[in-house]
Amino acid sequence: MTQAISRPTLTMAEKIDSIDALCARARIMPVITIAREEDILPMADALDAGGLQVLEITLRSPHGLTAIRRLREERPHLCVGAGTVLDRHMLDAVEEAGAQFIVSPGSTDDLLRAALESPVPMLPGVASASEIMVGYALGYRRFKLFPAEVCGGTAALKALGGPFGDIRFCPTGGVGPANLQRYMALPNVMCVGGSWMLDSSNGWDAVRQASADALALLD
């Protein structure tokens, strides 16, 4: 079994800086659910070839932790994070697997406080101003807006920019090529997350091309 990587605990300011850096590198963060273990490396390689090197591996399948471990060991140049982290136990598991960042679909007080003690930066999920304020009181300043389009999309982000001027978001859920540029044009959006580029039914080169096409929209 892969041993947990020993890392010093970071301050919240350092964690915010780390999130900012990985989002700047990502611009588009693929949200990946691994259906088969044999897909782990081909999927990552196709995304990498298309220019996407910051990967969120969700725990929506039983292969999530395995994928994080293998990618950290076999593709060390990629930045590999864990998504769909729902509680303290999942947080401990992904930290042990070597996740470099953590993403949750929503926020609970227990998860937010557990992540404060973790050496790995977390991007907590929020869907309302009230949820932002709960995280804000604990020091969080970077959030995942989910599900972004259902929550009001770019109009909601513009509105939230008023009372929360120092908050930045990674909107996920309903983001795709048709609205990608509108999201990324907002000053409080760091990067976006999505899965539209992950369809491998036409082969791994289609994933590579979809990734490259998405990034080209931002150039």
pLDDT at position 4 is 44
From the CB of residue 6, how many other CB atoms can be counted at a distance below 10 Å? 6
Helices (H) and strands (E) in the chain, counts: 9, 9
Express the helix, strand and coil content of the chain in percent, nearest 5 each: 45, 15, 40
- Per DSSP, 172 falls in state B
131 is catalytic: no
> Strand 168-171's sheet: what is its strand order?
125-126, 142-145, 168-171
- Entry pTM: 0.94
Instruction: Calculate what percentage of the chain has a pLDDT beyond 90.
Output: 95
With 70 as the cut, is the pLDDT of residue 5 above it? no
Q: In what order do the strands lie in the sheet with 28-32?
A: 122-123, 102-103, 79-83, 54-58, 28-32, 192-194
**CA 12 – CA 33 distance, rounded (Å):** 29
- 57 closest CA partner among 18, 84, 39: 84
Element (H, E) at 102: strand 102-103
Catalytic pick among 14, 38, 73, 144: 144
Specify the pLDDT at position 1: 40
Mean pLDDT of 108-136: 97
Instruction: Say yes or no to pLDDT of 3 above 60.
Output: no
pLDDT of the residue at 2: 42
pLDDT value at position 8? 62
pLDDT band per the 50, 70, 90 thresholds, residue 63: very high
Which of the four pLDDT bands, split at 50, 70 and 90, describes residue 7? low
- Segment 106-116 mean pLDDT: 97
Quote the mean pLDDT of the chain: 96
DSSP state of 162: T
pLDDT interval class at 9 (50, 70, 90): confident
H/E element, 18 = helix 12-26
Cβ atoms of 102 and 122 within 8 Å: the answer is yes
Of 15, 37, 38, 56, which one is the catalytic site residue? 56
Give the integer Cα–Cα distance in Å for 122 and 107: 11
Using the predicted structure, report yes or no on whether residue 167 has a pLDDT greater than 80: yes
192 pLDDT above the threshold of 80: yes
Active site residue 144: yes
pLDDT at 165 over 50: yes
125-163 pLDDT per residue, tens:
999 999 999 999 999 999 999 999 999 999 999 999 999
Query: Could you give the percent of the chain with pLDDT greater than 70?
Result: 96
Strands (E), 18-70: 28-32, 54-58
DSSP H or E segment with residue 73 = helix 64-74
> 146: which DSSP letter?
T
Structural domains in the chain, sorted by start: 12-211 (3.20.20.70)
* Predicted confidence (pLDDT) per residue in 65-85, tens digit: 999 999 999 999 999 999 999
